[in-house]
């Protein structure tokens, strides 16, 4: 049986947040409407998730003028 040069587990992807290269097997991933995003860890995944939510709520809650 012949093996492909790069198995799926050895394939490298870039973290969506810090752009670090990580094996796809160890990456956390999230599917969006357009693409699959990969993350080196839950911290980056969490950051990305918060960014996305903020983008969405920024459109929905334009009347909400709460300051930080």
What track of x and - describes contact with Zn ion for positions 29 through 58 (by CB under 5 A)?
-----------x---x--------------
Tell whether residue 17 is a contact of Zn ion (CB under 5 A): yes
* CB closer to Zn ion, 17 vs 37: 17
Of 6, 7, 11, 18, which lies in the binding site for Zn ion, with binding defined by CB under 5 A?
Answer: 18
DSSP E strands in 1-68: the ranges are 12-14, 21-23, 28-31, 36-39
Residue 40: which of 15, 19, 23, 17 has the closest Cα? 15
Separation of alpha carbons 60 and 11, rounded Å: 38
CB 40 within 8 A of CB 15: yes
Tell whether residue 15 is a contact of Zn ion (CB under 5 A): yes
Least Å distance, CB 39 to Zn ion, is 6
* CB closer to Zn ion, 1 vs 35: 35
């Amino acid at each position: 049986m012949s093996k492909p040069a790069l198995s799926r587990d050895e394939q490298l992807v870039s973290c969506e947040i810090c752009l670090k290269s990580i094996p796809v097997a160890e990456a956390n991933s999230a599917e969006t409407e357009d693409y699959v995003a990969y993350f080196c860890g839950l911290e980056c995944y969490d950051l990305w998730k918060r960014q996305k939510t903020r983008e969405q709520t920024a459109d929905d809650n334009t009347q909400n003028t709460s300051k930080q």
